[in-house]
Amino acid sequence: MNDTRILGVHGRRVWDSRGRPTVEAEARLTGGAAGRAIAPAGASTGSGEAIELRDGGTRLGGRDVQRAVAAINGEIAAALTGRDAADQAAIDRALIDLDGTPQKRRLGGNALVAVSMAALHAAANAAGRPLYAHLLGDAASAVMPLPEIQIFGGGAHAGRRVDIQDFMIVAPEARNFDQALEWTAEVYRAAGELMAERGLMQGVADEGGFWPAFDSNEAALDMLIRAIERAGFTPGQEIAISLDIAASEFHENGLYRLARDGRTLDSDGMAEMLIGWLDKYPIVSIEDPFGEDDAEGLRRFTAAVGDRVQIVGDDFLVTNAERVKNAAAIGACNAVLVKPNQAGTVTETKAALDAARSAGWGAIVSARSGETEDVTIVHLAVGWGAGQLKVGSFARSERMAKWNEALRIEEALGSRARFAGKASLKPGSATRR
């Protein structure tokens, strides 16, 4: 199976974790190997990310993907047939040029990312190696990422019952990935017990975390501390807190409107609130603490606390290498969230990660709220040595498929595996290969 020329590309409609249509692509090679991948979908999205191609109209709420599937089976298949899947950069350049728009609007970011990842899988299969090993090449060791796992969901992922989107934990003192998951399972179980005892459970959020009925945003932090303690851990030692503020979701006309708290804050007020939380709680990472168009607020916040907390750009950076470089130049953020479907191709995704490394930043490979059983991002996190991995909560099969895949990879690596742990959270600690 050494012939890596593309024999054909096929697209189909499949379904994501919210029961919405999405795109799956298969790439078949002349030598007999094949690869398959599925595009995820986000709920809170940055304005600069690759744009999905949806059908519109009334069918399936306008979310059907027949046009994107047709693009794969038509133009994209014709353009890629005969090309070498082992040359990922050339495959992705062909996709970008074929689409011809800055945000993949014409053929759809969902179509392009599915095909790009499918070609990558096909090349790995042709080489007879799992994708992570294909990406690692001859590296003597591999970094197992620190998992960042949601306990409570909010914002766009949970009916905006609280404003903050993700209340998460990390286990920086764990010995390995397996132990990090075990500790998380204990905290997740304890949180569920506490929620049930206090009658605060509303259901399950999009990413598998508990959908809470808290009276304030800070009440979620207090409950998270109680859950960590009930599970037998010391907050800030074995287990620490990570937040995704997703501030663009409630930022308008220069103001931040926290509906759950009944507060409206300007940029300085938002910073004051968050710094107060940093002083009170063992928070080690904050994602999108300011709106995507509030670069100055983000710059000032990074200058104030960037030496003691990871400040992650998601909507602000949208997995775009140039945006990462520009943010680094002005001193905004010290880590990037890496989402392949934001960029639209594997090559552009890797470029954003490389830009973060060049800036001395950390990196988190991330799933989306609308996910599937696809585990590509786990292999990317390990194969690229990203250091951190975020796929949602410790429940729902589309999430657990990814955590479990990482366990398999850690076992397969054996003594070659190095757990990123707390080192991945330090500014300037981006893992290099």
pLDDT at 430: 44
Q: Which residues contact 242 (CB under 8 A, 6 or more apart)?
A: 148, 166, 168, 169, 170, 283, 284, 285, 286, 287, 310
Residues 151 and 122 in one domain: no
Runs of H (alpha helix) within 255-294: 267-280
| Domain end call among 128, 161, 182 | 128
Q: Do residues 115 and 199 share a domain?
A: no
- Predicted model pTM: 0.95
Of the listed 104, 218, 287, 339, which one is catalytic? 339
CATH number of the domain enclosing 185 = 3.20.20.120
Rounded Cα distance, 341 and 315, in Å: 13
- Domain total in the chain: 2
Question: What pLDDT sits at residue 353?
Answer: 98
Determine the structural domain holding residue 16 and report its residue range.
6-128
The answer on 154 and 123 residing in a single domain is no
191 within a domain of the structure (yes/no): yes
Secondary structure (3-state) at 242: strand
Rounded Cα gap, residues 388 and 424, in angstroms: 7
pLDDT at 200: 73
Same domain, 222 and 76: no
Instruction: Write the DSSP symbol of residue 206.
Output: T
Domain ends where: 128, 154, 177?
128
Catalytic residue among 207, 238, 287, 371: 207
The pLDDT of residue 215 is: 86
Rounded Cα distance, 357 and 305, in Å: 20
339 labelled catalytic: yes
Q: Is 133 among the domain residues?
A: no
Q: Which residues lie closer than 8 Å to 251 by C-beta, 6 or more apart?
A: 257, 290, 291, 293, 294
Tens place of pLDDT for every residue, the chain, 433 residues? 589 999 999 999 999 999 999 999 999 999 999 999 999 998 767 889 999 999 999 999 999 999 999 999 999 999 999 999 999 999 999 999 999 999 999 999 999 999 999 999 999 999 999 999 999 999 999 999 999 999 998 865 445 668 999 999 999 999 999 999 999 999 999 999 999 898 877 677 778 888 877 889 999 999 999 999 999 999 999 999 999 999 999 999 999 999 988 999 999 999 999 999 999 999 999 999 999 999 999 999 999 999 999 999 999 999 999 999 999 999 999 999 999 999 999 999 999 999 999 999 999 999 998 999 999 999 999 999 999 999 999 999 999 999 999 999 999 999 999 999 999 997 544 443 3
Residue with the two structure tokens 């009944």: 262
**Same domain membership, residue 176 and residue 90:** no
- Number of other CB atoms surrounding residue 415 within 10 Å: 6
Is residue 433 included in any domain, yes or no?
A: no
Q: Looking at the DSSP assignment, which residues form a beta bridge with residue 25?
A: 11, 37
Residue 379 CA from chain centroid, whole number: 13
Q: Could you tell me if residue 166 is inside a domain?
A: yes
C-alpha–C-alpha distance, residues 200 and 220, integer Å: 11
CA distances from 293 to 21, 155, 267, 316, 416 (A): 30, 19, 11, 7, 42
pLDDT of residue 433: 37
Contacts by 229-234 with C-beta closer than 8 Å and gap 24+?
Answer: 230/190, 230/193, 230/194, 231/183, 231/186, 231/187, 231/189, 231/190, 232/186, 233/183, 233/186, 233/187
> Are 329 and 259 members of one domain?
yes
The CA distance from 427 to 285, in Å, is 11
Residues 124 and 214 in one domain: no
Which of 128, 155, 189 is the last residue before a domain boundary?
A: 128
